[in-house]
Amino acid sequence: MQVIRSIAELRNWRKDAGTVAFVPTMGNLHAGHLALVAEAHRHAQKVVVSIFVNRLQFGQGEDFDAYPRTFDADCAKLEAAGVDVLFFPTEAELYPRVRQAYNVEPPNLQNELCGAFRPGHFRGVATVVTKLFNIVEPDFACFGKKDYQQLAVIRGMVEDLNSPVVVVPVDTGRADDGLALSSRNGYLSDAERAEAPRLYRNLSLIREALAGGDSDYAALEARAKDDLTAHGWRVDYVEVRHAHSLEVAHAGEKHLVVLAAARLGRTRLIDNIEVDR
């Protein structure tokens, strides 16, 4: 595996690389990331993974400085997974002017769901992904469905900006007890880790109700919030939305997604489940 740190070197490598599939990450890699890499291998001749902890998508008081940086372990995992290039730029390389004067501004969806609790987050995501697309010039880019709102923002951005990239969604990786794999799961204490699958269980109950024809979304959302709160969670949201647009769902719609975000101790967990009925 080749580790490339400069934009110029990556662009030079790209000239003769053939088809490229790209997996952008912030590092601290787990099995969910490696599933993205495996999917990338199915689409292109070469696979590029980036590791960059993007300051722009962290809000004030969030965990930018504490975010786990595990470069050596990540390199070993990526090499074993057959990755061709790891792009590992410094902040100065990717943001040479320090403060980004031009940003990619998503639509109002950026202010809903997670965006309502993390102002500016999706602007930071859209901006860095656009920069990385411009540098890597991938034919395909793989993103996990766990970050469902992020996936929707990136799909819309690629479509509206006519980016020649095929966005490949990849199913959420889960532990045996259902907990969605996340780098932030490492923040959980043993007791919190034992409690954490409750989020997925509540989403599963909503999915079962929706599949059975229940369209009282507000009642289903409230029941899940109450259960989480009763067990020590601080709930940001539990919502049923239209699966493709992420607009508020209406009774009778067939393609739905149930999304949730809640805090367990100091750890904010997100998850979602798609429902076709």
Among residues 33, 43, 231, 242, the one annotated as catalytic is 33
- Residue list for the binding site for beta-alanine: 57
- Residue list for the binding site for (R)-pantoate: 57, 150
Distance CA 36, CA 184 (A): 18
- Residue list for the binding site: 26-33, 57, 144-147, 150, 173, 181-184
CA 184 vs CA 5, 8, 161, 249: distances in Å: 25, 32, 31, 29
Distance CA 263, CA 118 (A): 13
What count of other Cβ atoms lies within 10 Å of the Cβ of residue 216? 13
Structure tokens at 94: 């990717």
Count of helices and strands (H, E) across the chain: 10, 9
* Residue keyed to tokens 């599963």: 204
Structure tokens at 250: 């209406």
CA 71 vs CA 77, 140, 184, 186: distances in Å: 10, 24, 16, 16
Tell me if residue 242 is catalytic.
no
Please answer whether residues 151 and 182 qualify as being in contact, where contact means their C-beta atoms are separated by less than 8 angstroms.
no
Distance CA 43, CA 22 (A): 10
Residues forming the active site: 33
